[in-house]
Amino acid sequence: MTRVEPSRVPGRTAFRTTRPAVSGILRPRAALTCLALAALAFLVFCVAVGTGDYQVPVWDVVPALWGSGDMPTLFAVRELRLPRALTGLLTGAAFGLSGALFQTVTRNPLASPDMLGITQGAGTAVVAGIVLGFGAGLGTQGLGLGGALAAGLLMYGLAWRGGTTGYRIVLVGIGISWMCVSVTFYLLSRAEGYQAQQALGWLVGNLNNRGWEHVRPLALALAVLLPAVLLQSRLLRTLQLGDDVAGGLGTPVQRTRMVALLCGAGLAAFATAAAGPILFVALAAPQIARRLAGAAWPPPLASALTGSTLVLVSDLLAQRAVGDLMVPVGVVTGVLGAPFLLWQLSRADKAGTGG
């Protein structure tokens, strides 16, 4: 007969079953946070799909998503707005999850793909393709994906000294970031007017004119990488205790760190390829999720849901806040993210972490 042995401590409940022998920890606050964030992200998603020149009430959006409704509603929801909203939802999830992985591995709340050169590598590859005229068959998606993955592999390779540490990864990543920024600016200085305009339109992060060709690769990447991250979450938590303690608890430190960095770089690469480098989402989402869940580290699933909500809300503001002028979503996240970065820096300085 199976017997469940619970053990309660403040903020969590541990359990163990006798047959089969399974143990785990339940965190009610973290679970409620994920449910609330999922509901909020879905509500904002429905508002984004229903808002536009042809208004669709929120209660009519869900039936329309499943093919029920009149022709104008189905055309507005499924053909015009659904690909853009899905791109924003998935891009935010990928950036949020990627940021959680980088901040967990480096044990630094300021580490994110924006700061460590991943998105800058994508930008350099896209601008080089536009200005120098190579990789036309790949498009901006292929070039951005290749540039981001190359920057991630370069960062890991240069940080390797018989193993890696979070401190070396941050230092090398910042160096790669500034190197990519310098190369991008040099290429822009040599670009013709129309080339510079095309490159800048992508570099700022944009959801305009996004279609199913942007949704499918990103959805496939998340379907593969999100379960991989969740399966590694128990090992990732032990990295927060330091390499020596994690190794003493049986965690293969270097292998866990390598898998986490590859997953984080891959998520950021696919997100950047789909929508461009939407700044500050990967930095802010994990820290917001951590505070909401009351956790000591960025929770992966809550970080992904927070990232989705941030991008969808920012895109709604980008479309509606400046009258008829539609600004790129990256402008809104940049305006909102800069004060958050300054606040995070002040908090990191007071806590003696973050650098």
State the Cα–Cα distance between residues 301 and 290, nearest whole angstrom. Answer: 11
Which tokens is 348 given?
């990191």
Kindly state the percentage of the chain with pLDDT values over 70: 91
State the Cα–Cα distance between residues 61 and 77, nearest whole angstrom. Answer: 7
Owning domain of residue 208: 49-336
In a domain? residue 240: yes
Question: Which is higher by pLDDT, 129 or 24?
Answer: 129
Question: Which is higher by pLDDT, 243 or 170?
Answer: 170
In a domain? residue 16: no
Does residue 110 register a pLDDT over 90? no
Does residue 342 register a pLDDT over 70? yes
Given its phi and psi angles, is residue 275 left (phi above 0), alpha (psi -120 to 50 degrees) or beta? alpha
Does residue 284 register a pLDDT over 80? yes
Q: Lowest mean pLDDT of 43-57, 99-113, 284-298, 336-350, name the range.
A: 336-350
Does residue 355 register a pLDDT over 50? no
In a domain? residue 320: yes
**What pLDDT score was predicted for residue 23?**
67
For the chain, the distance separating the N- and C-terminal CA atoms, rounded to the nearest angstrom, is 52
Q: Name residue, tokens 């930008």.
A: 123
Q: Confidence class of residue 145 from pLDDT cuts 50, 70 and 90?
A: confident
Q: Confidence class of residue 354 from pLDDT cuts 50, 70 and 90?
A: very low
- Residue 22, phi then psi, degrees to nearest 5: -130, 140
Does residue 76 register a pLDDT over 60? yes
Does residue 136 register a pLDDT over 70? no
276-314 as b/e: b if 16+ CB within 10 A: bbbbbbbbbbbbbbbebbebebbbbbbbbbbbbbbbbbb
Does residue 11 register a pLDDT over 70? no
Q: Lowest mean pLDDT of 86-90, 149-153, 232-236, 262-266, name the range.
A: 232-236
In a domain? residue 324: yes
Does residue 352 register a pLDDT over 80? no
**What pLDDT score was predicted for residue 351?**
55
In a domain? residue 58: yes
Mention every residue, 6+ apart, whose C-beta is less than 8 A from residue 310.
Answer: 92, 96, 281, 284, 285, 288, 333
Residue type, 112: S
In a domain? residue 7: no
Does residue 175 register a pLDDT over 80? yes
Enumerate the H helices of 191-252 as residue ranges. Answer: 193-203, 212-239, 243-248
In a domain? residue 40: no
Mention every residue, 6+ apart, whose C-beta is less than 8 A from residue 318.
Answer: 207, 326, 327, 328, 329, 331, 332
Which tokens is 174 given?
């910042």
- As for how many domains the chain has, the answer is 1
Does residue 140 register a pLDDT over 50? yes
Which range is most confident: 54-63, 89-98, 322-331? 89-98
Mean pLDDT of 301-310: 95
State the Cα–Cα distance between residues 306 and 353, nearest whole angstrom. Answer: 23
Does residue 297 register a pLDDT over 80? yes
The CATH number of residue 86's host domain is 1.10.3470.10
State the Cα–Cα distance between residues 315 and 309, nearest whole angstrom. Answer: 10
Does residue 39 register a pLDDT over 70? yes
State the Cα–Cα distance between residues 137 and 142, nearest whole angstrom. Answer: 8
Q: Lowest mean pLDDT of 17-26, 119-128, 136-145, name the range.
A: 17-26
In a domain? residue 202: yes
Mean pLDDT of 100-106: 91
Mean pLDDT of 280-294: 91
Mean pLDDT of 201-219: 87
**What pLDDT score was predicted for residue 79?**
85
Which tokens is 89 given?
């939802």
Q: Confidence class of residue 9 from pLDDT cuts 50, 70 and 90?
A: low
From the list 257, 243, 284, 282, the residue with the least C-alpha distance to 97 is 282
Three-state secondary-structure class, residue 340: helix
Kindly state the percentage of the chain with pLDDT values over 90: 28
State the Cα–Cα distance between residues 344 and 102, nearest whole angstrom. Answer: 16
**pLDDT per position as a tens digit, 257-270:** 888 988 998 899 88
Mean pLDDT, the chain, integer: 85
Does residue 348 register a pLDDT over 70? no
Question: How many CB atoms within 10 Å of residue 164?
Answer: 23
